[in-house]
């Protein structure tokens, strides 16, 4: 990670959004400290009522920054869709709106590489839920807000996992199920890539949160395998 570049980002974003309630975070390979020299900066800002001109200025700044430092520019999801999202969109994301539901069961939609789907709210809900439960670095804004979204996102992610796999699961079981199978993993599933540093992060995060759920009486465990005490735990709306 380029510390000087990150410090500059923090300074610029703090100034850019100084009048708005917001949170900006870095995610992806840079946050996991597994980026190549040319890896792009994955950034998202949660903020309401940004003007079209301000959004255009931000997009120009981010693209120019990538060009200046020789970083790749990822245009698969439009910048105007992924750089700035309103609070409602993040709220819907951490509620699990990126999934489909049928008779109480979760369905993980197929990832379509069509222009329409890559610009859709549904895809952004999936991206946001993945990034907020992944490793992040606060760039500017409200740290508590970021943590609140993380907690809500993880609550949903665990419910989704036990909805899909209604059985006793160990930490490693859950991590593997979050990553997926060789036939469907990464962006095609929950968004987590099968990389050592990502597995390490997930194992730490999953265990910490499972222990917390157990203390709250939401889960029981036997031989380091966990399961919800109440079926309501896996009910999603």
pLDDT in tens, 133-147: 999 999 999 999 999
> What share of residues in the chain are helix, strand, coil (percent, to 5)?
50, 15, 35
pLDDT at site 230: 83
185, pLDDT greater than 80: yes
What pLDDT is recorded for position 232?
74
Indicate the DSSP class of residue 6: H
Q: Is there a contact between 160 and 136 (Cβ–Cβ < 8 Å)? A: no
Per-residue model confidence as pLDDT tens digits over 11-37: 999 999 999 999 999 999 999 999 888
Which alpha helices (H) appear in 24-180, and where do they start and end? 52-68, 79-82, 87-95, 115-118, 121-133, 143-164, 171-179
Residue 192 has pLDDT above 60, yes or no: yes
User: What average pLDDT score do residues 182-189 get?
Assistant: 90
Span 191-199, average pLDDT:
96
Asked whether residue 233 carries a pLDDT value surpassing 90, the answer given is: no
Compute the distance between CA of residue 23 and CA of residue 128 in angstroms, rounded to an integer.
13
pLDDT band with cut points at 50, 70 and 90 for residue 162: very high
Closest listed residue to residue 138, CA positions, set 6, 5, 2: 6
Average pLDDT, the chain: 94
How much is the pLDDT for 236? 54
Please, are residues 47 and 86 in contact by the beta-carbon 8 Å criterion?
Answer: yes
pLDDT of residue 190: 96
Tens of pLDDT, residue by residue over 63-107, are 999 999 999 999 899 999 999 999 999 999 999 999 999 988 999
In this prediction, residue 146 carries a pLDDT of: 98
What mean pLDDT is predicted for residues 157-179? Answer: 96
**237 pLDDT above the threshold of 60:** no
Give the pLDDT confidence score for residue 195 in this predicted structure: 96
Percent of the chain with pLDDT over 90: 88
């Amino acid at each position: 990670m380029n510390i000087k570049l990150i410090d500059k980002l923090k300074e610029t974003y703090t100034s850019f959004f100084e009048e708005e309630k917001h949170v900006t975070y870095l995610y992806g390979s840079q946050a996991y400290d597994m980026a190549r020299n040319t890896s792009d900066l994955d950034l998202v800002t949660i903020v309401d009522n940004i003007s079209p001109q301000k959004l255009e200025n931000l997009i120009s700044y981010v693209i120019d920054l990538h060009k200046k430092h020789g970083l790749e520019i990822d245009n698969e999801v439009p910048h105007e869709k992924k750089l700035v999202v309103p609070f409602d969109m993040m709220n819907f994301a951490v509620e699990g709106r990126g999934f489909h539901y049928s008779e109480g069961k979760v369905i993980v939609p197929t990832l379509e590489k069509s222009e329409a789907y890559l610009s859709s709210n549904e895809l952004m809900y999936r991206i946001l839920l993945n990034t907020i439960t992944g490793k992040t670095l606060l760039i500017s804004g409200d740290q508590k807000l970021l943590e609140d979204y993380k907690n809500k996102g993880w609550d949903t992610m665990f419910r989704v996992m036990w909805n899909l796999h209604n059985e006793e699961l160990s930490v490693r079981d859950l991590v593997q199920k979050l990553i997926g199978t060789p036939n469907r993993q990464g962006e095609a599933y929950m968004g987590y890539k099968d990389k050592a540093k990502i597995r390490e992060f997930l194992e730490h995060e999953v265990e910490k949160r499972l222990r917390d759920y157990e203390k709250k009486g939401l889960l029981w465990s036997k031989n380091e395998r966990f399961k919800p005490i109440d079926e309501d735990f896996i009910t999603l709306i």
